[in-house]
Amino acid sequence: MEKVLKIVKVIAITIIMLLIIAIGFFGVYAKYNGVWNNILPEYNLGMELAGYRELHFELDSSEETKDIFVDENGNYKGDVATGKEEGDTSTEEIATEKNYKIENRTIAANDSDKINIENFEKTQKIIQKRLEKYDSYEYNLRQDSVTGKIILEILDDEDVDLNASIVTTIGKLSLVDTETGVILLDDSNLYKASPFSNTSENGEYQVYLGLEFDQTGKQILKEITEKYTKVTDKDGNDISKNIDVRLDNQTIISTHFQDTISSGTIHVPIGASTTDYSEYLELLNNVKEVSDIINEENMPLQYKVTEQAKIQSIITENVRNNIIIVCAILILVISLYIIIRYKLEGLRQAILNIGYLASLTILFRYTNVAITFNSLIALVGVVVVNYIFAIRFLNELKKVNNRKIALKTTLKGLYLAIVPVVIIAVIFTFMSALVINSVGMTLFWGLLLQLLFSLITLI
Amino acid sequence: MKLSGSKKILLLGIILLIIAGIVVVALKGVKVSLILQQHEEINIYIGKPTNLKDMKDICKEVFGNKQVIVNDLDVFKDAYSISVESVTNEEKDELINKVNEKYGVEITLEDISEKTISNIRVRDIIRPYIKPVLISAILIAVYMIIRFRKENALKLLGKIAGIILLTEAVIFSVIAVLRIPLSAIMINIMAVIAVVELCTYIYKLESKTVIKAEKYK
């Protein structure tokens, strides 16, 4: 009876393995709108395998002649607002109040004395810092040390425009008088920018950009909030003076203040409130990215996008199919060797090994493990470890003729030897770079699944 | 430690190879793969569906022994990005002529765009690896000191570090002397070899420990 039960168990496991192999390597197809589609999630491919977008940036050489506010030292203090001229009452008032002059100057996007190799290096470092704030970042950054031209190679996804803005955004935050254009407060007095959110009673999410200023900024902010407050005339018309919160020359919001703020912190609402959680998360993420840009040093140079192209991977479908065929032949040869040498036990182990590889492919789809050249090398590593386990287990089983003892001995010998690999798997998984964490996750899931599959050998 | 004659010769050979590698790197630097070094990129738009293999054959004829990589531009298989070490005007003309001949089109110099693509600094490729490799190395060393506390830990660590460094130095010297282009995959393969050596060494130590334990039984 026990023998029959064991045979049934073995047959059941073999059938399950064959099913997993079929699903893992061929997928599960369902008809949708008359078309058969694989319902398994797609692999998450890295740049080398998915192709990438190549963005070219050059130094912005544009110039603009305009009226600007300058302080007593000749420092720039804001553009005179469009439609305003020297002589305009509000412009004159604020210039007098701040002890500024109005001058007509030609302002270049990049001063010629700033175009040097030190600033090229600085720019590159800032861009790298910004890109590396992302989880699972992957990019190649090239810079011409003579012309300063930059080429950014990144994954071609919905974040391409955002990534482009990482290079083109200087990161200068300013609070500007909407009417006159004078800069009231800027990021030289900013302590920290951070994302905030709250949820209203009716379940609406609102995202804010939190700006915390230093002691000097706190005092200036208090004065601003006292002056730029809600005012209505005798007919009830809103005649409030507004300020613009700007990032570079883009206005994030134009607003006035309800109350005087003496804490030195303002929360700038970003976008409309929403009940859609995924929309809220996306906005929160965007605001976090903007905060990171503001908190970092400003870019010393202004760049503009000049060109972009989508470059496909060198691993074409043809190359991929050839690699799959070679791997399949290799696995077949090794499986045949195991079957010939170890007979029925060998056949069982060979099916388990192939099932292990198929399970890994399914697991990678569902756990979103990134497939990069590095992770493919790690994948080969865990498959090799699995085969080493199989052969050692079969040898041990031949010696001791007891599955439990054979398994215990094999696992102990193998896993004590690969402790460094386990350590690498854990450490690498927590790194932000995709080329690193893809290795960690491949090793982690590969070794975990290998342990699980090794327990199946007990049955 | 006394070495036999053949081992002495092997060690001498290794030392000479490493010295040769150092000299080559000092004089000529490390040769990196085309994608990592500064190169020219030609984007060519043919306007009708074509074959990547045919394009690669054309490029081989035009550019001869120069390193060339051909990629599809977009998914329509009618445009290519050709990365090559350098390109002369004659080569550009020859490329256009061969493409026109092959596909029956009439593209001109104005239909192709050429750009200089700057290099990627090797230190930028290696930088993401520094922190995780250092942390892993420290944790592995701590593990080995604890696991093999009955052995001379410093001697153990010194020996394995020496073996790994020597192997990596030999591989790197071979790459430098033979002017094999260094790429990210090469660096990864060198890392895998180091990990395999480490695991093999630990396996041998574990086996020794088991044998010792059985002796005492």
pLDDT of residue A82: 74
Provide the pLDDT confidence category of residue B216 given band limits of 50, 70 and 90: low
Domain end call among B101, B117, B133: B117
Question: Are the beta carbons of B137 and B165 closer than 8 angstroms?
Answer: no
Question: Is B200 close to A427, i.e. CB distance below 8 A?
Answer: no
Here the tokens at position A337 are 């060797």
Length of chain B: 217
Tens of pLDDT, residue by residue over A248-280, are 988 888 888 888 888 999 998 888 888 889 889
| Neighbour-count burial of A190, counting CB atoms closer than 10 A to its CB (0-12 exposed, 13-18 middle, 19+ buried) | middle
Does a structural domain hold residue A282?
no
Question: Are the beta carbons of A371 and A49 closer than 8 angstroms?
Answer: yes
Torsion of CA A184, A186, A191, A194, to 10 degrees: 100
Distance (Å, rounded) from C-alpha A363 to C-alpha A358?
A: 9
Does a structural domain hold residue A352?
yes
Tens of pLDDT, residue by residue over B18-60, are 999 999 999 988 888 898 899 999 999 888 888 888 999 999 9
Distance (Å, rounded) from C-alpha A202 to C-alpha A418?
A: 54
Domain of residue A409 covers 2-46+315-456
Here the tokens at position A334 are 């090794």
Q: Residue A37: which CATH number?
A: 1.20.1640
Mean pLDDT, chain B, rounded, equals: 88
pLDDT of residue A87: 54
pLDDT of residue A119: 94
> Do A349 and A425 belong together in one domain?
yes
| Contact status of B129 with chain A (Cβ, < 8 Å) | yes
Report the predicted TM-score, pTM, of the whole model to 2 decimal places.
0.86
> Do B126 and B51 belong together in one domain?
no
Which chain B residues are closer than 8 Å to A316 by Cβ?
A: 52, 72
> Do B165 and B67 belong together in one domain?
no
Question: Is A423 close to B75, i.e. CB distance below 8 A?
Answer: no
Average pLDDT over residues A189-206: 89
Does a structural domain hold residue A358?
yes
Length of chain A: 459
Which chain A residues are closer than 8 Å to B143 by Cβ?
A: 419-420, 423
Lowest mean pLDDT among A46-55, A63-72, B202-211: B202-211
pLDDT of residue A89: 64
Task: Please spell the DSSP secondary structure of A38-66, one letter per residue.
Answer: E-SPPPEE-HHHH-EEEEEEEE---EEEE
Does a structural domain hold residue A179?
no
> Do B145 and B86 belong together in one domain?
no
Which chain B residues are closer than 8 Å to A417 by Cβ?
A: 199-200, 202-203, 206
pLDDT of residue A88: 59
Provide the pLDDT confidence category of residue A84 given band limits of 50, 70 and 90: low
Which chain A residues are closer than 8 Å to B115 by Cβ?
A: 56, 307
CB nearest B129 (choices: A149, A421, A436):
A436
Percent of chain B past pLDDT 70, that is, above it, reads 97
What total of structural domains would you count in chain A? Answer: 3
Which chain A residues are closer than 8 Å to B72 by Cβ?
A: 311-312, 316
Percent of chain A past pLDDT 90, that is, above it, reads 49
> Above 80 in pLDDT, residue B213?
no
> Do A245 and A136 belong together in one domain?
no
Does a structural domain hold residue A397?
yes
> Above 80 in pLDDT, residue A297?
yes
Average pLDDT over residues A405-426: 92
Does a structural domain hold residue A100?
yes
> Do A381 and A253 belong together in one domain?
no
Q: Closest approach of chain A CAs to the CA of B57, in angstroms?
A: 15
Nearest C-alpha in A relative to B210: A413
Question: From the CB of residue A331, how many other CB atoms can be counted at a distance below 10 Å?
Answer: 16
Q: Residue B84: which CATH number?
A: 3.30.70.270
Provide the pLDDT confidence category of residue A359 given band limits of 50, 70 and 90: very high
Helix-, strand-, coil-residue percentages of chain B, each rounded to 5: 65, 10, 25
Provide the pLDDT confidence category of residue A396 given band limits of 50, 70 and 90: very high
> Above 60 in pLDDT, residue B1?
no
Please tell me what DSSP assigns to residue A241.
Answer: P
Question: Is A424 close to B124, i.e. CB distance below 8 A?
Answer: no
Question: Is A419 close to B189, i.e. CB distance below 8 A?
Answer: no
Average pLDDT over residues A115-132: 93
Question: Is A314 close to B69, i.e. CB distance below 8 A?
Answer: yes
CB nearest B81 (choices: A311, A421, A427):
A311
Question: Is A435 close to B72, i.e. CB distance below 8 A?
Answer: no
> Do B54 and B111 belong together in one domain?
yes
Distance (Å, rounded) from C-alpha A154 to C-alpha A50?
A: 11
| Contact status of B76 with chain A (Cβ, < 8 Å) | no
Average pLDDT over residues A284-302: 91
> Do B127 and B206 belong together in one domain?
yes
> Do A132 and A199 belong together in one domain?
no
> Do A110 and A14 belong together in one domain?
no
Q: Closest approach of chain A CAs to the CA of B118, in angstroms?
A: 5
Domain end call among B64, B93, B117: B117
What total of structural domains would you count in chain B? Answer: 2
Provide the pLDDT confidence category of residue A46 given band limits of 50, 70 and 90: very high
Tens of pLDDT, residue by residue over B154-206, are 888 899 999 999 999 999 999 999 988 888 888 888 999 999 999 999 988 88
Q: Which residue has the higher pLDDT, A6 or A209?
A: A209
> Do A68 and A136 belong together in one domain?
yes
Q: Name which of A21, A8, A6 is nearest A352 in CA terms.
A: A21
Nearest C-alpha in A relative to B119: A142
> Above 80 in pLDDT, residue A165?
yes
> Do A442 and A323 belong together in one domain?
yes
| Contact status of B134 with chain A (Cβ, < 8 Å) | no
> Do A224 and A266 belong together in one domain?
yes
Does a structural domain hold residue A291?
no
> Do A306 and A164 belong together in one domain?
yes
pLDDT of residue A405: 92
CB pairs under 8 A between A and B: 96
Lowest mean pLDDT among A274-278, A329-333, A432-436: A274-278
Provide the pLDDT confidence category of residue B121 given band limits of 50, 70 and 90: confident
> Do B20 and B60 belong together in one domain?
no
Tens of pLDDT, residue by residue over A310-321, are 888 888 888 899
> Do B45 and B79 belong together in one domain?
yes
Nearest C-alpha in A relative to B135: A427
pLDDT of residue A325: 93
> Do B128 and B74 belong together in one domain?
no
| Contact status of B126 with chain A (Cβ, < 8 Å) | no
Question: Is A312 close to B74, i.e. CB distance below 8 A?
Answer: yes
CB nearest A424 (choices: B128, B147, B195):
B195
Does a structural domain hold residue A285?
no
Q: Closest approach of chain B CAs to the CA of A145, in angstroms?
A: 9
Which chain B residues are closer than 8 Å to A141 by Cβ?
A: 120, 124
Tens of pLDDT, residue by residue over A131-164, are 998 888 899 999 999 999 999 999 888 777 778 8
Question: Are the beta carbons of A300 and A169 closer than 8 angstroms?
Answer: no
Domain end call among B88, B117, B146: B117
Provide the pLDDT confidence category of residue A121 given band limits of 50, 70 and 90: very high
CB nearest A427 (choices: B71, B139, B192):
B139
Lowest mean pLDDT among A224-238, A365-379, A393-407, B131-145: A224-238
> Do B99 and B138 belong together in one domain?
no
Q: Closest approach of chain A CAs to the CA of B16, in angstroms?
A: 31
Convert A97-120 into a string of H (helix), E (strand) and C (coil): HHCCEEEEEEEECCCHHHCCHHHH
pLDDT of residue A139: 93
> Do B24 and B67 belong together in one domain?
no
Distance (Å, rounded) from C-alpha A79 to C-alpha A73?
A: 16
> Do B129 and B209 belong together in one domain?
yes
Distance (Å, rounded) from C-alpha A108 to C-alpha A115?
A: 12
Q: What is the ipTM of this complex?
A: 0.86
Residue A70, strand partner residues = A76, A101
> Do A124 and A147 belong together in one domain?
yes
pLDDT of residue A231: 75
CB nearest A144 (choices: B71, B118, B132):
B118
Mean pLDDT, chain A, rounded, equals: 89
> Do A72 and A143 belong together in one domain?
yes
Provide the pLDDT confidence category of residue A83 given band limits of 50, 70 and 90: low
Helix-, strand-, coil-residue percentages of chain A, each rounded to 5: 50, 25, 25
Domain of residue B51 covers 39-117
> Do A324 and A447 belong together in one domain?
yes
CB nearest A423 (choices: B115, B116, B139):
B139
> Do B150 and B46 belong together in one domain?
no
